Amino acid sequence: MSASRKVVELFYDVLSPYSWLGFEVLCRYRNVWNIDLRLRPTLLSGIMQGSGNKPPGLVPNKFLYMAKDLGRSARYFDVPLVTPADVAHVMFVKGSLSAMRLLTAVSEKDLGQETRVEKLSRELWMRIWNRDEDITQPASLSEAALKAGISRQEVEELLQIITSQPIKDKLKSTTQEAMNHGAFGLPMTVCHISGKPEMFFGSDRFELMAHCIGEKWVGPQPMASRL
C-alpha cells in the first residue's frame, strides 16, 4: 500500500438498517483497502426533512420491497439484522435522536480514535435491529454503552452532556455537512479522491466505490476471500 491513505467518511444513523450493512462492510475493508475510515454519526430525520425525501416506509411498494430486501441483504453481508416487530413505531415515533447524540458525544471525546464509536454503534444496531430493544431511554443507552466497553462513570458523564448545546450543534453540523455533499438518505459514503469528494448513497455501491479509489472489491467478507 502507498503511504497516502484515502479518507473515506461514512455518514450514518443507527435507525437505518442499510447503514448497518454499509458500516460493517467498510469496517471489514478498513485494513484491506488503503483508506482512513472516519465514522460520522448523522441524524437521518434531519436528512429526510432537509432534502424533502420521503421515507420508504411511507410508500407501500417501497416498504414491501424493503422488507424482502433487508432479509436477503443481511444474509449476503452476514449481518444479524432482524426487523423489529413494529418497525413503523420504531422508526417514525421513537426515532434515534438521543442515540445519535450519544454517539456524537463519544466521537467528540475520542477524536481520532474510533474504536469506541464503532463498538457503541454496533451495540445500538444490535438493540434496535436484532433484539428489538429500545434505544431512546437513558437506561437503554447506558446498557448499550456499558456493553461497548465504556465505564459506568463515563457513561453517566456522557448521558449528562448529550443534551448540551455543543453536542446538539455538532450533530446538526454533521447532518448539514452530509446535506452539503448531496445527501438525501443514509448511509452516505464520501470518498476523498485527489482532493475531490465522491459521494455514494446506500450499501450497494462497493464495486463502484472500489473502482473509484483504485481498490478491489472481493465481496462482503474480504478476509475470508484471502484464505
Supply the residues annotated as catalytic: 16
From the CB of residue 43, how many other CB atoms can be counted at a distance below 10 Å?
26
Q: Are 187 and 11 in contact (CB under 8 A)?
A: yes
* Conformational region of residue 13, where left means phi above 0, alpha means psi within -120 to 50, and beta covers everything else: beta
Q: Give strand pairing partners of 190.
A: 9, 199
Decide if 216 contacts 21 (C-beta within 8 A). Answer: no
**Which residue's entry shows cell 444490535?**
126
